[in-house]
Structure 1
């Protein structure tokens, strides 16, 4: 416990402001991007750590587990991993996202795919139409983009900066176009520590011109991709989901989401 407090104290001296609140609010914790929940068995190499205030950390927490659930459900369709936490994740998510979980389960079906050895294995084929699913994925992309700008440019994304997000699965007709776009981005990062490499679970390509102009393409579990464009302000008539930086952290800008998906206002 003493070492953990010492590490946190040292970290906050170097990074005193929350990177999600436009550099306007004091940080009080370390946020991992992506969160540990996204990785198999919650095994995550160190690195990609950013300062966050207690408000943002609390706001992120329920969506971390929901995003992980979506990621592992997508991964199960590849038949090479079944996350042991899967059933407990569903139980934990039902109270917060009941309609979304019921909708996903109701529209899921079982199928068969060939694994790397050529054997047929049963898989879950899910359809993601509930707004909670889209919110969780797009919110995660905006958060990681905000964090990477801070890490690699050395400055917080300013207030009112916007994030345009889009996600596609490997089965989507837009997948090839998104992958072509991703390969055109000049920089690459994944998480690894010694021989422990998680590029099969998370990798990103990106460019950062400034804290208000950047582009990212994230690949999760080699199953689905999310792109995010950072722009100074929203343009009228935008159809893409937009998020923006506020003093309450990253929040949706142009979509009306159900109450369960609203980001709490700082008290």
Structure 2
């Protein structure tokens, strides 16, 4: 009871102190946003932290993006946690309801190849899928943008200005090479995770990051070591133009999941016009 009361008081404090939605320009009534969502964690047992005031549009409107991100994070080549498979099956219903068309993109038979993985010295057969449909990409881009703005809010203690820039890139399972990961963390020396007493988020969610705590945050976020999201979020005038120039030079054919956007989640308004990808 004491823990529940403490959570209630903290929620009230977060909502009362908000100057606007963490993601958009809405001012007024707020809901509590969790990044990552509670569903990312076993039995929804989420340590406290990374909780923000959010408007109904951004909270409920991104349920499809959240469900897909959780699905991708908990889908492993070799599942070692017994709770994940039943949870993944349940998530298909949420994705069908809140991200229509995505399951068709993901589970078209032409998108799955036979392969093998070395698991504890034993080669085991697996199916390899490619999540490159436009709907899947858009929903994961939305989740990544949310993660970037949440990280900015967490480290700078304020929401991003709307003339800022958000760079994101996401990787699924083995999509990020070990060399790439080592290079990224070499420039992000700091580490954090959710923590509540003895309860830690651990491999379910952890972050390597670098920031000046004022107007720029760079981070790589790991969700179950299966979904990785790299972000750079800044509203500093000295960083915006250089970040845009760097983005222009990145070859999209070899880095298909990179995205550059502004705060506000304008992508939500464009989702309805995105055509479904034929399986």
Question: TM-score range with shorter-chain normalisation?
Answer: 0.7 to 0.9
Query: In structure 2, what is the equivalent of residue 90 of structure 1?
Result: 92
Residues in 2 aligned to 1:39 and 1:121: alpha-carbon distance in whole angstroms: 27
Asked whether the equivalents of residues 214 and 231 of structure 1 are also in contact (C-alpha less than 8 Å), the reply is yes
Secondary structure of 2:48's counterpart equals: coil
Asked whether the equivalents of residues 41 and 83 of structure 1 are also in contact (C-alpha less than 8 Å), the reply is no
The alignment's TM-score, normalised by the length of structure 2, stands at 0.76
Asked whether the equivalents of residues 105 and 136 of structure 2 are also in contact (C-alpha less than 8 Å), the reply is no
Asked whether the equivalents of residues 17 and 51 of structure 1 are also in contact (C-alpha less than 8 Å), the reply is yes
Residues in 2 aligned to 1:7 and 1:173: alpha-carbon distance in whole angstroms: 37
Query: In structure 2, what is the equivalent of residue 151 of structure 1?
Result: 154
Cα distance, 1:179 vs structure 2? 3.3
Cα distance, 1:176 vs structure 2? 1.9
Query: In structure 1, what is the equivalent of residue 255 of structure 2?
Result: none
1:250 aligns with 2:265: yes
Residues in 1 aligned to 2:201 and 2:140: alpha-carbon distance in whole angstroms: 19
Task: Decide whether aligned partners of structure 1 residues 33 and 173 sit closer, same or farther in structure 2, where only a CA change above 3 A counts.
Answer: closer
Contiguous gaps of at least 5 residues in structure 1: 262-267
Query: In structure 1, what is the equivalent of residue 220 of structure 2?
Result: 217
The alignment's TM-score, normalised by the length of structure 1, stands at 0.79
Deviations 1:126-166 (A, max 9, x none): 22111222223332222122122222212211012111111
Query: In structure 2, what is the equivalent of residue 259 of structure 1?
Result: 273
Backbone CA RMSD of aligned residues: 3.2
Asked whether the equivalents of residues 29 and 52 of structure 1 are also in contact (C-alpha less than 8 Å), the reply is yes
Aligned residue runs from structure 1 range 168-187, under 5 A? 168-172=171-175, 174-187=177-190
Cα distance, 1:194 vs structure 2? 3.6
Aligned residue runs from structure 1 range 166-205, under 5 A? 166-172=169-175, 174-205=177-208
Between 1:159-168 and 1:137-146, the stretch displaced more is: 137-146
Cα distance, 1:108 vs structure 2? 3.4
Task: Decide whether aligned partners of structure 1 residues 41 and 112 sit closer, same or farther in structure 2, where only a CA change above 3 A counts.
Answer: farther
Task: Decide whether aligned partners of structure 1 residues 197 and 124 sit closer, same or farther in structure 2, where only a CA change above 3 A counts.
Answer: farther
Task: Decide whether aligned partners of structure 1 residues 119 and 198 sit closer, same or farther in structure 2, where only a CA change above 3 A counts.
Answer: farther
Aligned residue runs from structure 1 range 31-180, under 5 A? 31-73=33-75, 76-81=76-81, 82-106=84-108, 107-108=111-112, 113=117, 115-116=119-120, 123-172=126-175, 174-180=177-183
